[in-house]
Structure 1
Amino acid sequence: MSQLSLEVMANSVKKLEVMFTQQMDEFKGRIDKTASPSRATTCSLATEFSTFKDFIIGALQILQNQLQVISSEVDNIEMRSRRKILLLHGVPEANNEIISEVIVQTVVQKLKLDHFNKSAISRCHRMGRAATTDKPRPILFKLLDTEVRNKVWFAKTDLKGTGITMSEFLTKSRHDTFMAARQRFGISKCWTKDGCVFVLAPDGLRHHISSQQDLDKMLQMSAKKAPVRVVEPVVASRSRRALATAAAKK
C-alpha cells in the first residue's frame, strides 16, 4: 500500500472523529437546555438520536472496511515475501542432522531433481520446538531462485505414497481460509498455488480466494446457484389404472 493511500485513510478517520465530537457536543447541549421537555421536544430528540445512531453505525462500517483493506494489503505483502519458501512435512527427524543435506536428499531422491544442491537454498530449519513425539517437525526452506522453487513445487506429485508432503508457507489468514475451504468442500477440491487458495465448487467453477470474506462470498453465490430439484408426479399407465380400478371395485 502506498503512503498516499495511508494518508487518505488517516484523514478520513480524523474527519470522522471531528464529526463524532461535534454531533455529540451539540446533542448534549440541547438536552442540557431542555429542563422539562414537552412531548414534541421528546419526539424530536428521539428522532435526532436515531439519526445519530445510524450515522455512528455507518461510520463504524467505514472504519471496518478500511481495516479490511489494510489487513488485505499487509497480508499480500507478507505472502509475497514468502513466495520462495516451501514446507516439507513427514521427513524423519534425527539428532545432529544437517537440515540442508536432508532437504537435498529428499528433493533428489523423491522428486528426481538430480541437479538440486545446497547452493540453491537460502535458509532452512525445522519449525517449532524439538519434537516430544515420534511425529517429525516440518522443515521450512527458502530457495534463492523462483524458477528452482517452481521446479521443486510442481514435482511434489512424486511424493505421493512416500509419507512426505509439501506445502506453501501461507500466512495465518490464508492458512485458516484454506483449512475452512477443505472442511467445507473436501481435500481434493482445494489447493494452493503461488500463495493463493483455489476451490472447485459444486457448480464446476474454479474460485480464487485469499480470505475468509472471499470464502463467505463464494458460499453465498454457490447457495444462490444451487439447482432446485423438482419432483414430478408419476403418471400411471392406462393398464395400471385399469387394474387399480378393478381391484377397488372388488
Structure 2
Amino acid sequence: MQEEVTAFSINFQKQLNIIRKELQAVSDNVLHQDERIDELEQYSRQNCLLFHSVAEKPGENVTDAVLKIMKETLQINIKQSAIDRTNRIGKPNIFAAQAINEGRRQIIVKFVSYQFRSKVFHAKRALKNTPIIITESLMADRQRILKSTKEKFGPRSCWTQDGRIGVLHTNRRFYLSSMQELVNIQ
C-alpha cells in the first residue's frame, strides 16, 4: 500500500509540474499578447496630439481654436484639410465656469498624416511662455510609465517620442514601453 501511495505521489508531482509549465507558457503568451495590443493601440494614436490648457468658450469651434494656435503661436500655417478631427475630451461641467475658462478639458487633434502631426509637435517649443502644452496621446499604461519615469529621473530627463518614453540616464538614452524596462534601468 505504501508503494502505491508513493507511486501515486510521484506521478501526481510529475503531472503537476507539466501543468505548471503549461500554465507558465500560457501566462507568457498572454503577457506577450498584452504587449502587442498595447503597441497596436499606441500605433493607432500616432497621428494624434493633445492640447492642454486651451481656454474653452461656449459654442466654440475647436478646430478653429487649434488652427489659430498653430498659426499665431507656433508660426505654422496648416490648413483645416490637414486635420482629420478635433474635439474636447470629457464632458463639460456646466457648474464649473472656472474650469471652462481655464481650459481644463484637453483637446485631441487627429491629423490626416504623421507629417503634419510631427511638424506641430516639433514646433511646440514656441509655447514655452504660454499656458498651452502639447503632448503625445499616450495609452493609460504609457502615461503611468511616463509619470513613474519623471518621478525617478526628473522631468528634465524624460520625453516622449512616437509613443515611447525616452529617458537620459548616466549619459545614455533609453526608450521604454513597459514598466519592467523602467525597473531594469540602473
**TM-score normalised by the chain length of structure 2:** 0.88
- Equivalent positions of 1:137-148 (< 5 A) are 137-148=105-116
Match in the other structure for 2:80: 118
Residues in 2 aligned to 1:184 and 1:178: alpha-carbon distance in whole angstroms: 10
Residues in 2 aligned to 1:48 and 1:76: alpha-carbon distance in whole angstroms: 42
- Equivalent positions of 1:215-226 (< 5 A) are 215-216=182-183, 218-219=184-185, 222=186
Amino acid at match of 1:59: E
Task: Please point out which of 37, 55, 64 is paired with 1:92.
Answer: 55
CA deviation after TM superposition for structure 1 residue 215, in Å: 2.1
Q: Does 1:78 align with 2:46?
A: no
The secondary structure found in structure 1 opposite 2:175 is strand
- Equivalent positions of 1:171-250 (< 5 A) are 171-201=139-169, 203-216=170-183, 218-219=184-185, 222=186
CA deviation after TM superposition for structure 1 residue 185, in Å: 1.6
Residues in 2 aligned to 1:58 and 1:198: alpha-carbon distance in whole angstroms: 35
- Equivalent positions of 1:21-32 (< 5 A) are none
CA deviation after TM superposition for structure 1 residue 117, in Å: 2.7
Amino acid at match of 1:86: L
Residues in 2 aligned to 1:139 and 1:160: alpha-carbon distance in whole angstroms: 18
Amino acid at match of 2:158: C
The secondary structure found in structure 2 opposite 1:170 is coil
Residues in 2 aligned to 1:148 and 1:140: alpha-carbon distance in whole angstroms: 14
CA deviation after TM superposition for structure 1 residue 159, in Å: 1.0
Kindly indicate which of the two structures has a greater share of residues assigned to helix. Answer: 1
Higher relative contact order structure (alpha carbons within 8 Å, sequence separation ≥ 6): 2
Q: Does 1:162 align with 2:133?
A: no
Residue ranges of structure 1 left out of the alignment (5+ in a row): 1-36, 223-250
- The CA deviation string for residues 61-99 of structure 1, in whole angstroms up to 9 with x for no partner, is 111111122122222222222111100001111111110
Residues in 1 aligned to 2:21 and 2:182: alpha-carbon distance in whole angstroms: 24
Task: Please point out which of 48, 51, 72 is paired with 2:14.
Answer: 51
CA deviation after TM superposition for structure 1 residue 53, in Å: 2.7
Task: Please point out which of 51, 63, 70 is paired with 1:107.
Answer: 70
Task: Please point out which of 50, 61, 71 is paired with 2:24.
Answer: 61
- The CA deviation string for residues 141-198 of structure 1, in whole angstroms up to 9 with x for no partner, is 1111222111100011111120111111112222222222222222111111111111
Note the aligned Cα RMSD (angstroms): 1.7
Kindly indicate which of the two structures has a greater share of residues assigned to strand. Answer: 2
Residues in 1 aligned to 2:178 and 2:18: alpha-carbon distance in whole angstroms: 28
The secondary structure found in structure 1 opposite 2:51 is strand
Runs of 4+ in 1 over 6 A off after TM superposition: none
Amino acid at match of 2:153: F
Residue ranges of structure 2 left out of the alignment (5+ in a row): none
